Structures are given as C-alpha cells and as structure tokens.
Structure 1
Amino acid sequence: MVNGMLAAGKTLVAESGEKVKVAELFGSGGQGEVYRVTTPQGDRALKWYYPQLADARQRQILEGLIARGWSDDRFLWPTAIVLDPEGPKSGAPGFGYLMDVRPSRFQDLPALFRRDPSVSAATMRTLVTVALHTVEAYQSLHSKGIAYRDINWGNIFFDPRTGDVLVCDNDNAVVEGESAAVAGTMDFMAPELVRRDKGAQPGTQTDLHSLAVLLFLLLMNDHPFNGAQALQIRCMDEAAKRRLYGTDPVFIYDPSDARNRPVPDEQPTVVATWGALPKILRDFFVQTFTDGVRTPVKRVRETQWRKALSQVLDAITQCGSCGKQNLTQPDGAAPDCWKCGRTLVLPPRLELVTGTGTSRTRRGIRLAPSARVYAHHLVEDPDRHDFRAVVGEVTEHPQNRGRFGLTNHTKDVWTARKDDGTVRDVEPGRTIALRAGLLLEFGGGAEAEVRD
C-alpha cells in the first residue's frame, strides 16, 4: 500500500550506507511529507521532499546543516540525507532527511486556538514560559549567524504542562546572507518581504518581525494586523494579504493610527487580553509593529523580549478571589483581575542582585505560595532558563497557617540577616521565615532582600 509518495515497507538508503525502511506517513506540509521510518539506531522521522523541491540548492543547505552537528535539544535538526536507490521513473533520484521523532508530549500551537483538549493543562504561566523558551531557541540560532527564515506557528511545538518547546522544519535555516527556496509564510513575513522591496532578503532582521507575530498570537490569540480592516475583507486571497501584511500594515493598537482597531463585538478576547497585558510587553509590541515596520532595525531584539518575558513570568499573581493567574507589570501597581475585576493583592517581592562590580543585575520575584527561585535567577546572564533547577521554594509553615518561608533546595548553606540584625545559617532542606527586610546571601555574589 502506498503512503503518499513512499510506499510502506520501501527501503531507502542514507548517505552513510545505512538502510532506512518506511513505516507510516505522519503528515504532509508545503515542502514534502513526513514519515516514521526504522533505522539501525531505532525509529526516526523522515522528511521527503516533493519532486519539484528536491533540487541541488536544498540538498546543499541540508549538507551544511548536517555538517554543523547541531545538538540543541530544542531543535529537531537534520542528521542525515536519505536517497531512493531506485529513483523515480524520470531517472532523477529524490531525497529527504532524517531527524528525531517528535515526542508525543509536544503539541502544535494552533491547538491553543482550536481549544483542543490536548492543551487544556496550559496555564497563563505556561504560555509565558512557552514564549520565553521560543525566544531563547531562536536567539540561539541567531547567535550562531543562522537565520531561520520561516518562523510561524506551524514550526514550533510546546509541552502544555512544562512550557518546553521544540522547533521543527529546520531545513530552511541558512547562514545569514545565503539564499534558500523558502522566504517565509506571508502572515508572519516582514512587510518588506511581503512587498518584495528591492534588496530585501530573509534573514535575522526579518526573523525578528516573524518572532514578534508569533509571540503576539501566543499571548493575544490573534494576529497583530487583523483588526477592523481585516474584517472588512470578503476574500482573504493573496492580494488582500499583501495589502494587509505588506503595503498597508497597520498594527491593531497603533497609538497614532486607529484605522485597524479590533472590533469589540467581533474580537472581544483581543480587547480584553490587550488590557490585561503588562505595559512592558504592550510597549514592545507597539515598537515592533509601528517603528519596526517602517524601520526594521528598530524591531525588538531577542535579548529584550527575553528579559521582559522573564520579568513578567516572575511577577505572575494569582487572584485571591477567583484564583485566576494574572500577568502584572514588574515593579508596577496592583491591577484589577482580568476575570473577576477585583484589585489584586500583590505578594511581597524578593529583590535579587547578581553579578559583580558595576555590572550588577537586579530583578524581582513575587513570593506567592509555591513560588520558586531557580538557578537562572542567581546568575547575571544565564544561557537559558531552566525551570527544573530549583534553588528555593516558598512553603507554608505546617503548624502556623498563613506564615510562609523560603526553603533551601540546594546543597549549599545560605546566610540570612534579619531586620533586627541577627544572622543565621539556612542549611540545605531548612526554611527561613519570610519577613520584610530579610537579607539573604545565596553565594557566588547573589544576594536578595524581601520587600513588601
């Protein structure tokens, strides 16, 4: 029986000479089909290109990616080129590439918008974590001088319980300045690419626009240019998309152009979500989709998104009345709960200082029940945020309900200085009561103070 282009049971050959046997069709996309295959090392995924796309340039790109030997666990990176030893009847052999199979815990982002039961575990904290991990993943590519070129919601998957991400379809990532067959997905493409401006090429600068669109969709549940003007379009054909995303792109919350505002009766979720978004994120979206549209170098960079999302994540506050999670402005006043409308009661903050000399970094963590301090909090510029490396956790006193402390989950001894001047050690596994004015030394130059 034939599964798409390849028959189940068909034997292919990797360039190394290893045999690859086709098992079943996983699915198809714009460039080809993906199959589960068996190899001497176990099951793998095989992306097999449509004949018209299996050209010399795509093979050259794959060879370059495979030679890099990318080992980042956030990417399903190409590992080997696979050929059909028989070849199609035309005599020109097709090809594809092997990659790891995507684990079942990872779901696609469109599942959020479908309200799929598979993502029901995703909380507001999870979504911000997904956004943060997404930024860090693409930042890691860009730091190596590689442009992804086709950032869109179909190429990234997430774990609705942990917020971990997995980037797929990495076969169009190329070294900055080099050409590739794919320029992007129009809804996510930078306006200069949609307009086909002279000299405009996909690269890390256009990736920044695509990344911001993806973050907006993730946090706002809609596209940044889909407001009143989009709703007036009767046929969303290519010409309409080029106007909406290229020749006349108007951000739905452009402060100086209200033509494309969301329609409240048609887009109530967008209106409500924008109002609940912290100012630090709203300002970055405005910058990227106004100044950044006109002047690409003004787009918000990954480092800026990373810092802002991390700060917002540490400031998430649960409403004491309805129990819903709220995004709050770091260092800002208590907002009203997006769900019940009551003013939130903000928990105390742990003001952390890391680094040495004049380059010390300051950040705050809301000390809500079960809040955690992670290893990445204690270093000035972590490579990535790891939410498995727990340093400390806010725990409730077992006998005195309503009294909370910070439990040491490390193997090191902390030093605590109370507001009365007394000093004590906080040994591994022990807890120090949380009171305003408490000073903590975690070691390595990391210090903190509890503030109301």
Structure 2
Amino acid sequence: MSGMLENGAVLSADGGARVEVGGLLGAGGQGEVYRVRTPAGERALKWYYPQCATEEQEAIVRQLVGRAFDDDRFLWPRDFVADGRGGFGYLMDIRPDRFKGLPMLFRRRLRTTPRALLTACLYTVEAYRALHSQGIAYRDISWGNVFFDPDTGDVLVCDNDNAVVEGDSAGISGTMEFMAPELVRGDPGRSPGTQSDLHSLSVLLFMFLMNHHPLKGKRELAIHCLDEAAERSLYGKRPLFVFDPEDASNAPDPVEHSTVLATWAATPPLLHRLFTRNFTEGLRDPAARVREGEWQDALRAVLDSVVECARCGRQNMTEPRTGTPGSCWGCAGALVLPPRLVLTTPPPRTERHILLHRTARVQEHHLAPEPTRHDYGDGTVVAALAEHPQRPGRFGLANRSATAWTGTRSDGGTQRIEPGQTVPLRAGLRLDFGSGAEAVVRAG
C-alpha cells in the first residue's frame, strides 16, 4: 500500500530532529499515518492530505504541540513536521497493539468483561475531564477516536489534532451520530465546545455499555434511506431516547434491537438515571447534561459493585449500596452478594462501598476523598482479598500497603496488621488504614 510519502524519505521536525519515513500504518479522513524513525526512537507521523493542510489546521497543530499536554491517555501531537513545500504533519507516540478499536467491540470480535468495559468508561471520562480542565474542547468525541485494552480497560485517545481552546473556532464540528442536537441543527450562536463534548461523551459511554446508539430505535427502522436529511432529523431535529420514560415511539424493536434491551436490563438503575437525564433533559438543555464528575462517581460505584454469578461465573453489575442483588444476566440464576467493605475517606468525608468478591482489591484511589484519576492496576493495590491456604472458602484481607493498619473486632479486641499480613474477614471488623481512612466489614 503506497502513500503520499516515500519509504526512506527524510523530513525535519521543528526542533531540527531528523525524521525518516518508514511504512504506512493507515489512513483516515484527514491524512495518512506513517511509522517513522527519530533520534528519540520510533514514532508515528500523521501527514495531512493537501486539501486538509490548511493554514487554519497548521495553526491548530502548532498550538497543540506548544501546549506540551503530557497525559499518557492521549497520543498528543509532540512535534510539528513540514516538507518546505506546503505539506505538514506532526509526530506522536505509536499506539501499542493491545489497544483495540471500538468497531471490533461493536462487531463482537473482542472478548472482554463488564469490569473491563466499566473501567474503560471511567478512564475515558477522566481522560476528557483532564483535557477540559486545560481549557481544551475535543469537539469530535466518537467511537473512532478512542481505543481500549479489552483485558484491563485502559484507554488511549487518538486523533487529537482537532482539539482547540474553548471558544476558538475551527472547521470540525464532529461526527453526526455523536454531535449534540444543537450542532446538528445548526442553531445560531452554538459551536463545538465542552458542553457539546458532554453529549458526545454520553453517547460514547452508552455505546460502550449497551453496544447500541441511544437514539436509534423504531424511528430509524422506519427510515428507508438514511441520508443526511434523515440523520439530521434523527440526531438533531427530532432526537428521542430509545428508553424515554414518557415517549415510547422510538423504543427498541424487540427483534431488531434485542441486544440493547438485554444490556439495558443488565445495567443498574444508577446508570439508567444518568443516561435518561442526559438523553431527555440534556437533549433540550445543554446545561442539564451529565458532567464528568457525576459519571466518574457513578461508574466507580458500579465498578466496585460487580459480582460473579456463583452458578455460571459471569460478571454482573449490581446497584451500589443495595442489598437486592437481582438475577444473573447470563443464566437467570439468583445472585448472592458477598460481604462489603464500607470505607470512609479522610475529610471531606466520602463513603465508598466495595463488594468483597474473590478477586476484590482496595486501590489507592479508594482512600482519596476526591480522586481526579482512578487506577485499578496492580501498582496501586492497598488491600486484597486472600483465601486461607489450608481452609478453602475462608477469606481474609491482606495488607498490600507500606504501612500498618489497626483492626478492631466486633468484640472490641484490637490487632496490628503489618504490611504483608492478613486479617480474617468477619462482619463487624473495623480497619484503620491511617491518614484518616477507615472501613468496616458488613454483610452483603
């Protein structure tokens, strides 16, 4: 497959670094991406098509490079590269192979789990929240710009060259299916920004968890030709949530839309409420849209409430802080909730509920009252459930932190739990993790 740049061609980055073109990695709507060799190692080079290499786009890329936004969840433009003849592009890191595109998920070509999907949703929300905190609007959040690891839920946001400072104008408004209704309609005075990003983000989260678009129900099935006019009606002029509680005219078809009916039924009410608000009130009033902090709190709570079915082993999302487990989405068997750790953070006090399933872990972010970033990786484990080596079915909580805890049993007796030690898991056990973080074990 040949591209605009020849293999072996040598270009220069703005700082003077030598850039040698290797193979073509892929192509998109704005340009091509090449593997290149630089003094700092292999990188990816996005090179714009001539019709896209405008002065406006060059100014955007130069501004993004100048910001030096350092966040490992983004393939951020690192260096500007030009050929001296009007062509230009930018260097970025190469996307690791473990990150997969969402189309593979939607086509069911990936094996993943509810925990990984919830983690990916949480990490995606936090990534865009970090970008918005820098005063930058992404403007084109969609399934084509986010990649995720189906095993861990780690995310990587690509195609960041359309992000602009909030309030600045640019040519990209977004992908129609993800655009806020006011942008689809072209309402006067409305332009892409963080408020429209919130709509796009909610669409992306819905598709992550439901494998379906929130506005595609019976109305779409009645459209014989899904041309631009039909799309503008579906997403802009007459948008209607498929689970709108007051209007069922766009409800999912029981046959054609069986997947979203099943995934919605398997999703806890906490997420139902946020999606419903965003795609009812939020369709009409941008100020009513669910903000990143709300998604963050809800997704973490649901993630900490996932349990395995004792009969079939499938992971199930359950409603946080409730004693009503419901039934397994896979085998319809009754779920049994394990004990829970009710953790209280240092001031400002926040309560967290963590279901203590066989692989449960307490992470560093659980002890923070207002974490800006969650990390469910191995390197941030504070405590982990551990099975007794000689007594199968008996569990304890192992101290994986670097500091000792104080444990208080229900009879008032206390013990010191050093790093590496395990305390038997019993209802009523109270733990002092230090620094103002405390917890108590309660029945499920």
Same fold (TM over 0.5): yes
Q: Tell me the amino acid that sits aligned with residue 355 of structure 2.
A: R
> Residue 17 of structure 1: CA displacement?
2.3
1:411 aligns with 2:410: no
> Residue 59 of structure 1: CA displacement?
1.0
Per-residue CA shift, 1:55-101, capped at 9, x if unaligned? Answer: 1111111111111111111111101111113x2xxxxx111111111
Provide the C-alpha distance between the structure 2 equivalents of 1:65 and 1:39, rounded to a whole number of angstroms: 20
Provide the C-alpha distance between the structure 1 equivalents of 2:220 and 2:410, rounded to a whole number of angstroms: 58
Given the alignment, which residue of 340, 351, 373 partners 1:362?
A: 351
Provide the C-alpha distance between the structure 2 equivalents of 1:330 and 1:190, rounded to a whole number of angstroms: 30
Given the alignment, which residue of 362, 379, 382 partners 1:373?
A: 362
2:239 is matched with 249
Provide the C-alpha distance between the structure 1 equivalents of 2:87 and 2:340, rounded to a whole number of angstroms: 59
TM-score, L = length of structure 1 = 0.96
1:169 is matched with 159
Provide the C-alpha distance between the structure 2 equivalents of 1:166 and 1:20, rounded to a whole number of angstroms: 24
1:291 aligns with 2:313: no
2:95 is matched with 102
1:394 is matched with 385
2:291 is matched with 301
1:450 is matched with 441
1:42 is matched with 41
> Residue 18 of structure 1: CA displacement?
2.3
> Residue 145 of structure 1: CA displacement?
1.0
Provide the C-alpha distance between the structure 1 equivalents of 2:41 and 2:360, rounded to a whole number of angstroms: 40
Given the alignment, which residue of 96, 107, 118 partners 1:114?
A: 107
1:128 aligns with 2:118: yes
Provide the C-alpha distance between the structure 2 equivalents of 1:219 and 1:346, rounded to a whole number of angstroms: 22
SS in 1 for 2:423: strand
1:423 aligns with 2:417: no
1:185 aligns with 2:175: yes
Runs of 4+, deviation exceeding 4 Å:
none
> Residue 19 of structure 1: CA displacement?
2.4
Provide the C-alpha distance between the structure 2 equivalents of 1:451 and 1:150, rounded to a whole number of angstroms: 44
2:339 is matched with 348
SS in 1 for 2:20: strand
Provide the C-alpha distance between the structure 1 equivalents of 2:123 and 2:221, rounded to a whole number of angstroms: 32
User: Higher mean Cα deviation, 167-176 or 37-46?
Assistant: 37-46
> Residue 113 of structure 1: CA displacement?
1.4
Gaps of 5+ in 2: none
1:90 is matched with none
Provide the C-alpha distance between the structure 1 equivalents of 2:267 and 2:369, rounded to a whole number of angstroms: 26
Q: Tell me the amino acid that sits aligned with residue 401 of structure 2.
A: T
1:65 is matched with 64
Q: Tell me the amino acid that sits aligned with residue 363 of structure 2.
A: Y
Provide the C-alpha distance between the structure 1 equivalents of 2:307 and 2:276, rounded to a whole number of angstroms: 24
SS in 2 for 1:53: coil
Give matches, 1:127-276, under 5 Å.
Answer: 127-276=117-266
SS in 2 for 1:57: helix
1:52 is matched with 51
Per-residue CA shift, 1:183-217, capped at 9, x if unaligned? Answer: 10000000000000001100000000000000000
Per-residue CA shift, 1:395-447, capped at 9, x if unaligned? Answer: 11111221111000112110000000000001111111111111000011000
Per-residue CA shift, 1:320-345, capped at 9, x if unaligned? Answer: 01111000000121111111112210
Provide the C-alpha distance between the structure 2 equivalents of 1:396 and 1:39, rounded to a whole number of angstroms: 50
Q: Tell me the amino acid that sits aligned with residue 12 of structure 1.
A: L
Q: Tell me the amino acid that sits aligned with residue 175 of structure 1.
A: V
2:81 is matched with 82
Provide the C-alpha distance between the structure 2 equivalents of 1:44 and 1:407, rounded to a whole number of angstroms: 42
Q: Tell me the amino acid that sits aligned with residue 361 of structure 1.
A: T
Provide the C-alpha distance between the structure 2 equivalents of 1:199 and 1:298, rounded to a whole number of angstroms: 18
Provide the C-alpha distance between the structure 2 equivalents of 1:447 and 1:41, rounded to a whole number of angstroms: 46
2:2 is matched with 3
TM-score, L = length of structure 2 = 0.98
SS in 2 for 1:7: coil
1:25 aligns with 2:14: no
Provide the C-alpha distance between the structure 1 equivalents of 2:161 and 2:391, rounded to a whole number of angstroms: 57
Q: Tell me the amino acid that sits aligned with residue 189 of structure 1.
A: M
1:339 aligns with 2:330: yes
User: Higher mean Cα deviation, 227-236 or 3-12?
Assistant: 3-12
